[in-house]
């Protein structure tokens, strides 16, 4: 599947969704968060980059080492909605590469994965 076809399918799925984000290949957590696990690093990274692009973010190339478990994290608080934060992160776990996309209340939080912990601190 070409990148353009993948983006088109993702855009169609998001346009018809009632929730913040809904995609058929992702596991939804409530109406505002979802994740996807892919066993292949290249495919996971491609999907992650696509989701960032769809949401208006650019992927910043970073060199990863085999020891890196948290491969990429980006957060955004939009001026039009300062009470919420968008979190995008890509993790390397025993299950594969987990791409997470969350929309949550903008407050200090600890995200606990089966294997990793991410701490988010609200900037005032």
Residue 55 lies in a domain: yes
60 domain-assigned: yes
Q: Which residues contact 123 (CB under 8 A, 6 or more apart)?
A: 77
The boundaries of the domain holding residue 80 are: 27-120
Residues 40 and 95: beta-carbon distance below 8 Å = no
Q: Mean pLDDT over all residues of the chain? A: 78
Task: Please state the rounded mean pLDDT for residues 15-31.
Answer: 59
- pLDDT band, residue 66 (cuts 50/70/90): low
For residues 81 and 101, the answer to whether their CB atoms sit within 8 Å is no
Question: In this structure, are residues 96 and 38 in contact, taking their beta carbons and an 8 Å threshold?
Answer: yes
- pTM summary value: 0.72
Q: How many CB atoms lie within 10 A of CB 48?
A: 24
Residue 97's pLDDT band (cuts 50, 70, 90):
very high
- The number of folded domains in the chain is 1
Give a yes or no: residue 92 inside a domain.
yes
Cα–chain center distance at 113: 14
- 53 assigned to some structural domain: yes
d(CA 115, CA 113): 5
Residue 114 has pLDDT above 90, yes or no: no
Which of residues 3 and 109 earns the better pLDDT score?
A: 109
Instruction: Classify residue 19: in a domain, yes or no.
Output: no
């Amino acid at each position: 599947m070409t990148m353009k076809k993948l983006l088109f399918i993702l855009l169609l799925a998001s346009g018809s969704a009632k929730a913040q984000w809904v995609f058929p290949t992702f596991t939804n957590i409530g109406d505002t968060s979802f994740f996807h696990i892919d066993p292949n690093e290249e495919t996971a990274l491609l999907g992650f980059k696509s989701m960032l692009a769809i949401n208006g973010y650019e992927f910043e190339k970073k060199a990863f080492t085999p020891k890196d478990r948290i491969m990429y994290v980006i957060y955004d608080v939009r001026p039009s909605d300062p009470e919420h934060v968008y979190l995008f992160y890509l993790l390397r776990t025993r299950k594969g590469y987990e791409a997470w996309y969350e929309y949550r209340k903008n407050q200090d939080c600890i995200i606990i994965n089966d294997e990793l912990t991410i701490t988010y601190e609200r900037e005032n």
